[in-house]
Amino acid sequence: MQKPRSILAAVLALTACTSEASESPPYTPVADVRQLMASVIEPAAEVYWDAVGTIIDENGTTEIRPQSEEEWEAVVNAAYVVAESGNLLLMPERVEGREGWVAMSRAMTEVARQAIEAATARNESGVFDVGAELYYTCTACHSQYAVETLRPNDERGN
């Protein structure tokens, strides 16, 4: 049987470890927001956006759809990357001094959850529709925080 002093010492040691951990986050950001967008979020969003669609041109109509289980998995995985990236955008170093950043990052995660559901269900029209919603969510944020990334004819940046 342990002595009361030994138990107290163990509790105090655990408390000290817990307070040290709360002072210093257990993660280390590697990318800044622009790098995170360019190397993680945008490529994943592009996979999702490019998964389903229709192209009508001088050659006729081309339907774009995932054709295999592997292709559908890539769409699901891309949606997960976008969803979790919303959490990465909420790291304190990335939020600091940006009003509205939290709401926009959470909105991206929520729309990406819908994207996961649509892709998991293999719902082609759902993937297309949620892709439009994801695009709107992204451009709404860019209109406040990355105006230079908007298309020249997009009036939201003006």
Q: What is the pLDDT of residues 61-74, one digit of tens each?
A: 999 999 999 999 99
Question: What is the helix (H) or strand (E) element at residue 77, kind and residue range?
Answer: helix 69-88
Distance of CA 38 to the CA centre of its chain: 12
Q: What are 29-56's pLDDT values in tens digits? A: 999 999 999 999 999 999 999 999 999 9
pTM reported for the whole predicted model: 0.79
3-state secondary structure of 125: helix
Q: Is a pLDDT exceeding 90 seen at residue 140?
A: yes
Q: Is a pLDDT exceeding 90 seen at residue 7?
A: no
Work out the angle at residue 110's Cα, subtended by the Cα atoms of residues 40 and 25, and round it to the nearest 5 degrees: 60
Q: What are 87-126's pLDDT values in tens digits? A: 999 999 999 888 899 999 999 999 999 999 999 999 999 9
DSSP-derived secondary structure letter, 150: S
Q: Is a pLDDT exceeding 60 seen at residue 75?
A: yes
Q: Which residues pair with 57 in a beta bridge?
A: 60
Distance of CA 120 to the CA centre of its chain: 17
**Residue 23: band (very low, low, confident or very high) from pLDDT cuts 50, 70, 90:** confident
Instruction: Encode burial over 87-116: b for 16+ CB neighbours within 10 A, e otherwise.
Output: ebbeeeebeeeeeebeebbebbbebbbbbb
**Residue 152: band (very low, low, confident or very high) from pLDDT cuts 50, 70, 90:** low
> What whole-number distance in Å separates Cα of residue 28 and Cα of residue 138?
25
Contact 85, 108 (CB under 8 A): yes
pLDDT on residue 9: 55
C-alpha dist (Å) from residue 70 to 66, 74, 122: 8, 6, 12
User: Residues 3-22: what's their mean pLDDT?
Assistant: 55
Higher pLDDT, 7 or 130: 130
User: Residues 24-31: what's their mean pLDDT?
Assistant: 89
